[in-house]
């Protein structure tokens, strides 16, 4: 113990010394003495990232040791540390390094050339104890599960914790999986799906730093409480270039949590809604019922149905989004109007042989039309500039427009009462409608910056050529694009990558994590695929817990459209959260609604039987108060889960992905009665507890919960 404490103390000394060196370099970079603005910015960012990496290691810097059969010792920790005085000899291996992998996968039967695994128990910067596991000897004494059981039995705090010290073999295989496409991780409650996905992101950022850091990572979760719960895992691993969002946040500036009725959500979530959206856009590209007259200075012209129809067909055939195609529509209409006007003005004396006069007259007419209010009004009537929000508001609030689009069920009194299912529709309309061309000084400034940066790259490339031999053909543009370099000259934008990405609808991410993915609709997947052109995803879910009417019934149904043959399926089968006593109750419910799904196997028991208590209707509030008082005196977290709108309880949907030491479920019969999704919601409610589960009800207890003790 003494030698281990001394070694870890030396590691902390090395950490503190390295942090001091980086702080000095960071301060020097901020001063930027003798460096260009670009060089200073690059150095400031680099040292800031290094400070952040070193800052996460104060707690649990070193959590284990591997002893190889050849006598080599490898200490495993949150980050890697090297001895700068001894040819950078590794003092501490980053948990993601290949040499650290045996710490997670070695067993007595498959020792990976290791003879012992030692796991440290620490408090602050000191080792308090350790446990050893002998490897390569099936009859050897082992206490290898001690650290895991200590972690899963520990009281829950306010957020999810990382598991770098207790990653299990089946989890490690997924974290390090070498697959460039989509990885689907399925598992029942408590199997660690989410935390495995987050550690996979940390691993990818470690192994693909250059590619991943430029664009960042998007993590999509089911609700804000869940995102708060998991929000500190990646920062605790030293990774911060991550955007956390719900599907209701994926259109910048719009945040919604309200849900549609199941039948409406099903239509909005299906690809059939694309026909509705296209029909809604086409409905706004109109022909005049009567000719529209425009009185010019010397002549009156008119837009008739034939002219508008020709212009409309040309605009539609252009393949441009609606707002951009308006220019085509306008060009055809103005061509017809000016031709007719010139013919009338010059009747009897002007021919096309008088080219200069003809063109001058056309220019005057074009100028007059461009400034004429009646012409602008006519264009707005026949081919209006549309925004996604206004188009949907007009569609939802108009029974006539919905009939024309074949979607009468979408009618609602308040067109702006946005729901989660509206977000992918609004995002789709951004592409269908296109942008409105405006004079944007910021965009002009950015274009100038990119042009300047391109010049810098050209100089860098020339200098690189001068230093290269014929076999070395790595050029500057292979490492950096002009737009990326331009970012370094934007001194007015001090936002970090996550802030910039979250505010930009057109931002594309290098990797996307989707949690509770069984709830996402076909339209949700279209949004996410736009956000990640490389199709690099970690998808986490449990089809048995699906509650959304528009959600996935099979993974292939959602993914084969986008990544045929490029998605891999992995399953987690061990339940680390839910004790066996509670999982037995939940398994009875699972067998009732998903008999083909095997419940995950719990690794532990808690010794406390889940219970139920029937009370009078008026006594439920006091029963909730009793539960809250009892749990207030205990360490850990607790929650009351009940039907939607039940006083003093949260609905099951808001607890998805969360865990609590104690859970009280109120009126399970009412939860079951909430349509097709009710049974999945009750399953979620029953599997949130890590220690204690109780059920209070005035209505009869559902038969599937008969295993509860009274």
Q: Which residues line the annotated binding site for ATP? A: 187-194
Query: How far apart are the C-alpha atoms of 669 and 399, rounded to whole Å?
Result: 38
For the sheet with 81-83, list strands across it: 81-83, 89-94, 73-77, 62-68, 114-123, 126-134
CA angle at 343 for the pair 341 and 349, rounded to the nearest 5° = 130
Tokens of residue 259, six digits: 């849900």
Question: 707 in helix, strand or coil?
Answer: coil
Query: How far apart are the C-alpha atoms of 212 and 56, rounded to whole Å?
Result: 20
Q: How would you classify the pairing of strands 114-123 and 300-303?
A: unpaired
Question: 303 in helix, strand or coil?
Answer: strand
Query: How far apart are the C-alpha atoms of 534 and 397, rounded to whole Å?
Result: 38
Query: How far apart are the C-alpha atoms of 286 and 162, rounded to whole Å?
Result: 57
Q: Are 695 and 702 in contact (CB under 8 A)?
A: no
Q: Are 244 and 524 in contact (CB under 8 A)?
A: no
Q: In angstroms, what is the C-alpha Rg of the chain?
A: 32
Question: 53 in helix, strand or coil?
Answer: helix
Task: Compute CA 707 distance to the chain's CA centroid, rounded to the nearest angstrom.
Answer: 38
Q: How would you classify the pairing of strands 537-541 and 182-187?
A: parallel
Name the binding residues: 187-194
Bridge-partner residues for 134, per DSSP?
116
Q: Are 311 and 329 in contact (CB under 8 A)?
A: yes
Query: How far apart are the C-alpha atoms of 596 and 599, rounded to whole Å?
Result: 10
Bridge-partner residues for 82, per DSSP?
90
Query: How far apart are the C-alpha atoms of 190 and 184, rounded to whole Å?
Result: 17
Tokens of residue 547, six digits: 């509650």
């Amino acid at each position: 113990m003494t030698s281990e404490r001394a070694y870890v103390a030396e590691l902390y000394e090395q950490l503190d010394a390295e942090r001091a060196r980086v702080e000095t370099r960071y301060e020097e970079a901020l001063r930027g003495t003798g460096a260009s603005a670009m060089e200073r910015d690059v150095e400031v960012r680099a040292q800031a990232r290094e400070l952040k990496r070193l800052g996460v290691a104060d707690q649990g810097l070193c959590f284990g040791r591997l002893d190889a059969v050849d006598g080599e010792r490898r200490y495993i920790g949150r980050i890697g540390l090297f001895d700068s005085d001894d040819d950078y000899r590794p003092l501490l291996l980053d948990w993601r390094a290949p040499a650290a992998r045996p710490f997670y996968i070695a067993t007595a039967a498959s020792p990976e050339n290791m003879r012992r695994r030692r796991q440290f128990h620490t408090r602050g910067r000191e080792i308090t104890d350790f446990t050893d596991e002998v490897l390569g000897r099936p009859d050897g004494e082992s206490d290898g599960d001690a650290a895991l059981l200590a972690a899963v039995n520990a009281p829950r705090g306010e957020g999810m914790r990382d598991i770098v010290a207790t990653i299990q073999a089946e989890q490690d295989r997924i974290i390090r999986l070498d697959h460039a496409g989509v990885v689907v991780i399925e598992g029942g409650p408590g199997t660690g799906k989410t935390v495995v996905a987050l550690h996979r992101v940390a691993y990818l950022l470690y192994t693909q730093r250059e590619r991943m850091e430029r664009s960042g990572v998007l993590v999509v979760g089911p609700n804000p409480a869940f995102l708060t719960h998991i929000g500190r895992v990646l920062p605790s691993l030293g990774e911060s270039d991550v955007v956390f969002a719900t599907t209701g946040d994926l259109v910048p500036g719009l945040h919604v949590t309200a849900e549609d009725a199941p039948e409406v959500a099903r239509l909005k979530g299906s690809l059939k809604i694309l026909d509705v959206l296209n029909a809604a856009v086409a409905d706004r590209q109109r022909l005049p019922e009567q000719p529209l007259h425009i009185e010019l200075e010397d002549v009156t012209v008119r837009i008739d149905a034939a002219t508008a129809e020709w212009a409309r067909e040309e605009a539609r055939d252009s393949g441009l989004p609606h707002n951009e195609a308006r220019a085509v529509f306008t060009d055809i209409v103005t061509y017809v109007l000016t031709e007719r006007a010139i013919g009338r003005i010059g009747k009897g004396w002007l021919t096309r042989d008088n080219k200069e006069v003809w063109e001058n007259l056309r220019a005057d007419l074009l100028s007059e039309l461009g400034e004429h209010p009646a012409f602008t009004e006519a264009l707005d009537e026949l081919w209006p500039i549309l925004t996604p929000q206004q188009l949907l508001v007009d569609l939802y609030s108009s029974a006539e427009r919905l009939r024309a689009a074949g979607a009468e069920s979408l009618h609602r009194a308040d067109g702006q009462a946005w729901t989660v299912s509206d977000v992918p529709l609004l995002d789709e309309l951004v592409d269908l409608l296109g942008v409105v061309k405006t004079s944007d000084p910021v965009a002009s400034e950015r274009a100038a910056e990119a042009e300047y940066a391109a010049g810098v790259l050209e100089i860098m490339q020339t200098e690189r050529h001068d230093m290269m031999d014929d076999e070395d053909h790595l050029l500057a543009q292979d490492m950096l694009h002009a737009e990326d370099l331009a970012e370094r000259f934007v001194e007015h934008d001090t936002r970090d990558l996550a802030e910039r990405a979250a505010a930009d609808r057109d931002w594309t991410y290098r990797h996307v994590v989707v949690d509770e993915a069984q709830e996402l609709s076909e339209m949700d997947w279209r949004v996410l695929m736009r956000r990640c052109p490389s199709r690099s995803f970690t998808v986490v879910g449990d089809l048995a817990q699906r509650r959304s009417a528009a959600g996935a019934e099979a993974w292939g149904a959602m993914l084969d459209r986008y990544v045929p043959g490029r998605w891999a399926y992995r399953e987690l089968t061990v339940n680390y959260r839910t004790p066996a006593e509670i999982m037995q109750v939940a398994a009875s419910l699972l067998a009732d609604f998903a008999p083909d799904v095997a419940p995950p196997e719990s690794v532990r028991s808690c010794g406390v039987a889940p219970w139920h208590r029937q009370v009078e209707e008026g006594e439920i509030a006091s029963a909730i108060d009793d539960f809250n008082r009892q749990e207030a005196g205990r360490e850990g977290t607790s929650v009351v889960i009940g039907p939607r709108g039940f006083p003093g309880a949260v609905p099951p949907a808001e607890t998805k992905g969360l865990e609590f030491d104690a859970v009280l479920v109120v009126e399970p019969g009412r939860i079951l009665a909430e349509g097709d999704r009710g049974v999945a919601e009750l399953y979620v409610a029953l599997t949130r507890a890590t220690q204690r589960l109780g059920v209070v009800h005035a209505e009869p207890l559902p038969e599937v919960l008969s295993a509860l003790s009274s």
